[in-house]
Amino acid sequence: MLPFRITGALTALCLLGAAAGCELPHDPLNRAFSLAFIRNDDGRGELLQLAGGELYHRYMPVIRVGWPASGLWRYTGWERIGRAGVLLEGPISVAMRSKDHHLEVFARDPRTGTIVRTVRQNPGTWADWAPVENPPDAQISGAPYAVTGPDGRIRLFARAGRQLFFATQSEPDGHTYRDWRRLDGGEAGGDPTAVVSGDTIHVFVRDPDGHPAHTTLAGAQQGPWETLDPTETFDSRIAVALNAAGVPDLAMATPGRSIRYAHGVRAADGRLAWQWSAQAGDVIGDPAIVVRDGRTLVFSAFDHRGAARWAQTQDRRLSGGWQSTPEAAFATTEEGRTLVTSPVAETVTGRTGSAPEVFMMIDKGPDPQDRALHETAMFVRRPGAEWTTNTEDWPQPS
């Protein structure tokens, strides 16, 4: 049995919905459907969904005095982000501008091979989609990844074939991206991810041999590339989050459909190292990683008797190593339902404290071309409570 049946594919034919039930290996991701989740400047969650080439947005509103407990963590309804004649391909990426706290969303238009972007200018108001110029003599072939750098400007990472590039926002509230630079000394076999720690941006990518690789950007200076684990190969994007010590923790999936975790530590001489551990399982898609109250939480989807099962697979505490968490903490979807996105996770703030939230998208069939048959699923662990789950229909196209 193939590990991951999705409702879109990397080809334009599947992306446009002309073919159903496209069978893909463990990961590449489904390009027609994607989620992005971000914590805004006051800690509330904002969720973006790509479905069939169009983008939707919902968010946790400002908490109102007198709301019942059931409403303290609620989200708004879905809002379509305007059409602009582009065909969006996932995975999408979102970053928050440091000066005005507006969100910028990035995706790839597979028809033109360019990155496109939109900006939330005011609540409920989004700019038209606009292209980001390609690097000189190169065409973007992978998904973008955006982070807000130490200077407040967004850095946009993407690959063109095996070459990795990044562009820098003109100003902290600027609308242009310029000066594409190649990350020299390394080659990409997958799409990059990045995280900011202090004045340094840590960049991670799977190299052409499937090994995880790492470099840094500090100002205008790029550090050397380092192969983190030359003995193991991976076929997923590298999930990354800063642990309690301010060092990146990593999670990724192998072709054998198990998860490898890397806990980042800083040696006395300041150099970084990663402590590796593994968790077997029929993993589907990419893992997600988030840090809350000094603990690193990693989430994965598991193939369970033909259905998508979600599990918090590991929980690293500062006082010890990785500890297994019972998979029974999560519900199992009904037989026949299939996963269409990898999980996204973030720690957000509600009126009663902070909590990790995990979102994913499930196809509840039987017609995989019918977007009305897709639903969200959310797992959340409120302060002082156990994990709970709920599902709801995704917005229907209009």
pLDDT digits (tens, 9 = 90+) for 92-122: 999 998 888 889 999 998 888 899 999 987 7
Q: For residue range 368-380, list pLDDT tens digits in order.
A: 455 555 566 676 7
- Which residues does 25 contact at the CB level (< 8 Å), separation at least 6? 2, 3, 4, 235
pLDDT at 393: 55
Label each residue of 71-129 as H, E or C. Answer: HCCCCCCCEEECCCCCCCEEEEEEEECCCCCCEEEEEEECCCCEEEEEEEEECCEECCC
DSSP, collapsed to helix, strand or coil, labels residue 264 as: strand
Q: Residues in the chain with pLDDT < 50?
A: 1-29, 66-71, 305-307, 313-314, 317-319, 326-333, 368, 396-398
pLDDT for the residue 219:
87
Query: CB-based contacts of 93: which residues, under 8 Å, 6+ apart?
Result: 36, 105, 106, 107, 143, 144, 145, 146
Helix (H, G, I), strand (E, B) or coil at 56: strand
312 DSSP β-pair partners: 299
306: left (phi over 0), alpha (psi -120 to 50) or beta: left
User: Which class is 82-227 in CATH?
Assistant: mainly beta
pLDDT in tens, 139-179: 999 999 999 999 999 999 999 999 999 999 998 888 889 78
pLDDT of residue 330: 46
